């Protein structure tokens, strides 16, 4: 997938669903502390958060077609996102922060949002007998 750098930087400079510090590693490398910023389904990461100073992200992860897995066996407050070629590990100092990130990343993909919307649509149809998306642009897309 190709991205336009200018467009990504514009998204990264916008408002975030969640942001904060986490420890991160890829495969068997050592954990490094990074500043993460979740914007829509893009997880940007930075060297560190320096207040009052704009930085470009070091990298970005597209949060689509993935699974978030709890990995508390060896280290508490840890979760991972495995992909075919690489496995991303995330560690937080406290369980509250770890749980918040885990939950947010688990439901951020457009696929997950679409499934959730479809479920809500069915519940409303069952309760009211009316399709809430009838006569909208979304009526035949779910």
Q: What is the pLDDT of residues 7-51, one digit of tens each?
A: 899 889 889 999 999 999 987 788 999 999 999 899 999 987 665
- pTM as predicted: 0.77
Q: Which CATH number is correct for 5-108, 2.60.40.1220, 2.40.50.140, 2.30.29.30, 3.40.720.10?
A: 2.30.29.30
Which stretches does DSSP call E strand in 27-129? 32-39, 42-46, 59-62, 69-70, 78-82, 87-91
pLDDT in tens, 105-135: 988 877 777 787 888 888 998 999 988 888 8
DSSP at 20: E
């Amino acid at each position: 997938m190709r991205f336009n750098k200018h467009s990504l930087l514009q998204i990264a400079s916008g408002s975030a669903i969640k942001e904060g510090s986490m420890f991160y590693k890829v495969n068997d490398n050592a954990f490094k502390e990074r500043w993460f910023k979740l914007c829509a389904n893009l997880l940007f990461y930075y060297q560190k958060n320096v207040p009052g100073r704009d930085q470009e992200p070091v990298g970005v992860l597209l949060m689509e077609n993935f699974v978030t897995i709890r990995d508390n066996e060896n280290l508490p407050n840890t979760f991972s996102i495995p992909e075919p070629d690489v496995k991303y590990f995330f560690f937080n100092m406290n369980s509250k922060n770890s749980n918040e990130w885990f939950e947010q990343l688990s439901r951020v993909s457009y696929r997950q949002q679409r499934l959730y919307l479809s479920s809500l649509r069915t519940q409303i149809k069952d309760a009211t007998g009316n399709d809430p998306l009838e006569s909208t642009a979304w009526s035949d897309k779910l």
